[in-house]
């Protein structure tokens, strides 16, 4: 019982010393206050047990449903060699036999043999002289992101915060700065942004040596490769230098430290279920840290969310947290509220030399529109250079996304799915053949969309119909709003235009005559008042 409730109970007894005429009223008043405050406390301080059933009772916060768009980064030691992507460590050691992505040959040619220069030796080169947290977060915010952060630790186990639980961190090595602390401070400068933390180290045990067997490891490798040196066991986590038990302890300690120090509003995990079954990390530890996160947030009246990448056996139970489909992979046909799509602004997931930017802002904007219409949230990853600067190509893309959001954001932020999410001829779902020869669901937003491809969102009595292309004939036709539809249309306007629109309904469609010149780019929003 709280101190307030104890005090109130005590007063009830004291009131018996008051004149009889006052007793009924005072008794009623104190009883009412006791009920009100008990209910308030119960709501504000919900307690979670370390079980999946209990964790499932944490509702998805309304701010997540309203935010729609977030941005983070893939940046770390792997950004220094800038070759092959964030899996450089794995392709360097485990992939040395096959020269996966040409990493081993690239490394040995540029930096020398592994016995002289291992992955850890990039850390002194990771000084990040151009890193500016305010600049990074400013780019995110100006693009329209309502939550933002960074990948705090990738599969290589190097921590981008000033850690007291593990020595391999940016606070004491490399940049010698609290990278995430600076990012958190920058995010908190904006009243309309929440703080994201993403953790990828749940799959770090054996990541650098995952495909190796004892027969693959020569005596020379054992003696000269740093990945097999016990001195570095707390960095190169693998079966030859450490234990799954110690790794689990570290996994839990790292996340707990971030929760206690930075209090992120959302934690995103890069897949855990398979790793949990191998006891790295232990399932009990996962449950403990999630319960801690929820309980700490409940005490602080903070509304938090967790998200875990789906794919194979990676995800949490279906009713726990927000499910993430990486770039639409394995996303079911009938996907609906609520889910998340994450994607790199350009692949690979980190900066590499001679990086190609295949997709512009149009691709990302249309993806956001489509995902949001289905009840989804879109998370985009930037890929800063090793020195901490954001490539100019990415700045331009983010600027253009932001321009579209500034104009059309009311159709995105705070919206909810309509009775249908879309109409039109262009199919965004299909099958993708993997390198293993299997076919998997894959949503593809690299399409030539037409003016007949419409996506819908809704706020109360306002329906937003977003056309993914501009009509050549000056007519937007919407079949779902034909004569006899469920809705009564009161007025129609085009966001970004002050011109009065002509419209009429027939048995086939609602036809709206639009101006000759489109307002903005990429996608165009009709604002329809209905009842």
Q: Which two tokens stand for residue 100?
A: 């996966």
Domain boundary among 387, 411, 435: 411
**Cβ–Cβ under 8 Å, residues 403 and 520:** yes
Q: What b/e readout covers 182-195, taking b as 16+ CB neighbours within 10 angstroms?
A: bbbebbeeeeebbb
Residue 34 sits in the same domain as residue 139: no
Instruction: Please report whether residue 173 resides in a domain.
Output: yes
Residue 91 sits in the same domain as residue 222: yes
CATH code, domain with 458 = 2.60.40.1180
Residue 316 sits in the same domain as residue 186: yes
Which residue segment(s) compose the domain that 259 sits in? Answer: 61-411
Separation in Å, CA 106 to CA 91, 195, 232, 356: 11, 37, 24, 19
Instruction: Please report whether residue 469 resides in a domain.
Output: yes
Residue 301 sits in the same domain as residue 407: yes
pLDDT attached to residue 277:
75
Residue 14 sits in the same domain as residue 105: no
Q: Compute the distance between CA of residue 154 and CA of residue 201 in angstroms, rounded to an integer.
A: 6
Residue 229 sits in the same domain as residue 123: yes
Q: What b/e readout covers 38-56, taking b as 16+ CB neighbours within 10 angstroms?
A: eeeeeeeebebebebebbe
Q: Which two tokens stand for residue 138?
A: 């400013």
Residue 165 sits in the same domain as residue 274: yes
3-class state of residue 252 by DSSP: helix
Instruction: Please report whether residue 490 resides in a domain.
Output: yes
The pTM score is 0.90
Instruction: Please report whether residue 439 resides in a domain.
Output: no
Q: Compute the distance between CA of residue 349 and CA of residue 368 in angstroms, rounded to an integer.
A: 19
Residue 132 sits in the same domain as residue 277: yes
Residue 239 sits in the same domain as residue 173: yes
Reading phi first (left if > 0) and then psi (alpha if -120 to 50, else beta), residue 101 is in left
Q: Compute the distance between CA of residue 7 and CA of residue 34 in angstroms, rounded to an integer.
A: 10
Residue 40 sits in the same domain as residue 70: no
Which residue's structure tokens are 């949990």?
276
478 DSSP β-pair partners: 510
Number of neighbours of residue 279 by Cβ within 10 angstroms? 16
Q: Compute the distance between CA of residue 85 and CA of residue 353 in angstroms, rounded to an integer.
A: 10
Instruction: Please report whether residue 145 resides in a domain.
Output: yes
Residue 365 sits in the same domain as residue 470: no
Instruction: Please report whether residue 244 resides in a domain.
Output: yes
Residue 16 sits in the same domain as residue 68: no
Q: Residues near 65 by Cβ (< 8 Å), separated by ≥ 6? A: 337, 338, 377, 416
Q: Residues near 386 by Cβ (< 8 Å), separated by ≥ 6? A: 79, 80, 81, 82, 125, 126, 128, 351
pLDDT attached to residue 332:
85
Q: Compute the distance between CA of residue 163 and CA of residue 60 in angstroms, rounded to an integer.
A: 29
CATH code, domain with 180 = 3.20.20.80
Q: What is the bridge-based pairing of β-strands 454-459 and 462-467?
A: antiparallel
Q: Compute the distance between CA of residue 367 and CA of residue 444 in angstroms, rounded to an integer.
A: 9
DSSP string, 486-503: SPPEEEEEETT--SPPEE
pLDDT attached to residue 136:
98
| pLDDT tens per residue across all 531 residues of the chain | 444 444 444 443 444 444 455 555 554 554 555 444 444 444 558 999 999 999 999 999 999 999 999 999 999 999 999 999 999 999 999 999 999 999 999 999 999 999 999 999 999 999 999 999 999 999 999 999 999 999 999 999 999 999 999 999 999 999 999 999 999 999 999 999 999 999 999 989 999 998 899 999 999 999 999 999 999 999 999 999 999 999 999 999 999 999 999 999 999 999 887 777 777 899 999 999 999 999 999 999 999 999 998 765 557 888 899 999 999 988 888 888 999 999 999 999 999 999 999 999 999 999 999 999 999 999 999 999 999 999 999 999 999 999 999 999 999 999 999 999 999 999 888 877 666 677 777 888 999 999 999 999 999 999 999 999 999 999 999 999 999 999 999 999 999 999 999 999 999 999 999 999 999 999 999 999 999
Q: Compute the distance between CA of residue 75 and CA of residue 87 in angstroms, rounded to an integer.
A: 12
Domain count, the chain: 3
* DSSP conformation class of 11: H
Question: SS in 3 state form for 112-126?
Answer: CCCCCCCHHHHHHHC
Q: Residues near 179 by Cβ (< 8 Å), separated by ≥ 6? A: 128, 131, 133, 150, 160, 161, 170
Nearest to 523 by CA among 386, 368, 414: 368
Instruction: Please report whether residue 520 resides in a domain.
Output: yes
């Amino acid at each position: 019982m709280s101190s307030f409730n104890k005090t109130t109970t005590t007063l009830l007894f004291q009131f018996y010393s008051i004149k009889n005429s006052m007793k009924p009223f005072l008794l009623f008043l104190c009883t009412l206050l006791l009920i009100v405050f008990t209910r308030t406390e119960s709501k504000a301080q919900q307690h979670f047990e370390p079980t999946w059933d209990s964790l499932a009772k944490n509702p998805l916060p309304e701010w997540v449903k309203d935010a729609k768009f977030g941005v983070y980064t893939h940046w770390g030691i792997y950004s220094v060699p800038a070759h092959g992507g964030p899996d450089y460590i794995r392709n360097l050691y485990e992939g040395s036999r096959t020269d996966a992505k040409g990493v081993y040959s690239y490394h040995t040619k540029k930096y020398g043999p592994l016995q002289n220069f291992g992955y850890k030796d990039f850390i002194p080169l990771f000084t990040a002289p151009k890193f500016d947290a305010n600049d990074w977060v400013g780019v995110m915010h100006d693009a329209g992101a309502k939550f933002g952060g960074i990948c705090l630790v990738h599969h290589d186990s190097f921590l981008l915060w000033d850690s007291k639980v593990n020595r391999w961190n940016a606070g004491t090595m490399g940049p010698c700065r609290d990278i995430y602390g600076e990012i958190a401070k920058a995010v908190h400068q904006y009243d309309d942004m929440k703080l994201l933390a993403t953790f990828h180290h749940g799959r770090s045990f054996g990541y650098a040596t995952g495909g190796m067997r004892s027969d693959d490891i020569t005596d020379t490798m054992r003696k000269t490769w740093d990945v097999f040196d016990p001195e570095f066991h707390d960095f190169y986590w693998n079966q030859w230098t450490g234990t799954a038990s110690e790794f689990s302890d570290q996994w839990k300690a790292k996340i707990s430290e971030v929760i206690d120090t930075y209090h992120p509003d959302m934690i995103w995990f890069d897949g855990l279920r398979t790793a949990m079954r191998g006891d790295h990390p232990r399932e009990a530890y996962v449950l403990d840290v999630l319960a801690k996160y929820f309980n700490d947030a409940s005490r602080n009246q903070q509304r938090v969310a967790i998200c875990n990448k789906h794919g194979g056996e990676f995800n949490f139970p279906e009713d726990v947290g927000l499910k993430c489909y990486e770039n639409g992979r394995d996303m079911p046909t009938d996907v609906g509220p609520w889910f998340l799509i994450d994607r790199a602004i350009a692949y690979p997931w980190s900066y590499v030399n001679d990086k190609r930017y295949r997709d512009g802002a149009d691709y990302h904007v249309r993806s956001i529109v489509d995902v949001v219409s289905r009840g989804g949230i879109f998370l985009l990853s930037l890929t800063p250079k090793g020195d901490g600067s954001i490539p100019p190509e990415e700045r331009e893309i983010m600027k253009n996304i932001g321009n579209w959001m500034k104009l059309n954001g009311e159709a995105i932020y705070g919206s909810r799915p309509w009775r249908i999410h879309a109409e039109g001829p262009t199919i965004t779902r299909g099958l993708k053949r993997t390198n293993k020869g299997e076919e998997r669901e894959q949503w593809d937003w690299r399409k030539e969309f037409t003016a007949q491809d419409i996506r819908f969102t809704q706020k109360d009595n306002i329906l937003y119909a977003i056309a993914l292309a501009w009509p050549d004939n000056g007519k937007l036709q919407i079949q779902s709003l034909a004569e006899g539809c469920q809705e009564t249309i009161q007025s129609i306007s085009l966001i970004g235009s002050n011109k009065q629109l002509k419209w009429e309904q027939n048995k086939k469609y609602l036809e709206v005559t639009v101006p000759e010149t489109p307002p903005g780019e990429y996608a165009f929003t009709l604002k329809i008042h209905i009842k």
